[in-house]
A = this chain, B = another copy of it.
Amino acid sequence: MTSLPITETTRGRRLANRVSHERTTVHAILDEGLVCHVGAVVNGRPWVQPTLHWRVGEDLFIHGHAGNGLYAALLAGAEACATVSLIDGLVLARSAFHHSVNFRSVAVFGTVRNVTDPAEKTAALEAMMDKLAPGRWPDVRAPSASELKATAVLALPITEASAKVRQGPPKDDAEDYALPVWAGVVPLSLTRGEVIEDVS
């Protein structure tokens, strides 16, 4: 396993045993998450926007309309923090205080690169499709030149990032285990339902 460099931002001061900088851990969480929340300062104010993301090698990709305010700020060089979180369960403890959440999250910090080369852009979009609906790309109508131009594809290098993970049962205070309180975990997962065909 190789580790990402630990910076002042990604060091993890509290509950350090929950923090990881291992690339494999960071990548696995990014790959399992469908949506990241991208934060940046837009017009002088913090702004957090959800968007699909995908990873190719050491880059985290996002895409969207080139006219979006957040994307315009990022393309102008604003620093980003892209956070992906997977919620794995509610942790119900015997004391109110020790209730918790099982989760896996990653925060990636940096500035984006604008992917403008049509071939690289198309390959990036195909990689996104392969994450969401593997094998679908050859079936759908490919983007036209103007569609490709209207789509901003941004690459955020995964060079400054950390993962945070909490899993397992509640951790109660020793004296609370004797309390007659049900304790355990309610698992949570983002699940796919039965597909709905568009018969238009």
Residues of chain B contacted by A43 (CB below 8 angstroms) = 8-9
Asked whether any CB of chain B lies closer than 8 Å to the CB of A90, the reply is yes
Q: How far is the CA of A13 from the CA of B140 in the complex (A)?
A: 29
Q: What count of chain A residues pass the 8 Å CB interface test?
A: 84
A69 touches B182 (CB 8 A): no
A170-200 with Cβ < 8 A to chain B: 170, 172, 176-177, 179, 181-198, 200
B186 touches A198 (CB 8 A): no
A94 touches B140 (CB 8 A): yes
Give me 17 A-to-B residue pairs in the complex whose CB atoms sit less than 8 angstroms apart, sorted by A's number.
A9-B47, A14-B65, A14-B68, A35-B101, A40-B46, A46-B46, A46-B80, A46-B109, A48-B48, A48-B83, A90-B133, A94-B140, A96-B141, A99-B140, A139-B182, A188-B191, A190-B190
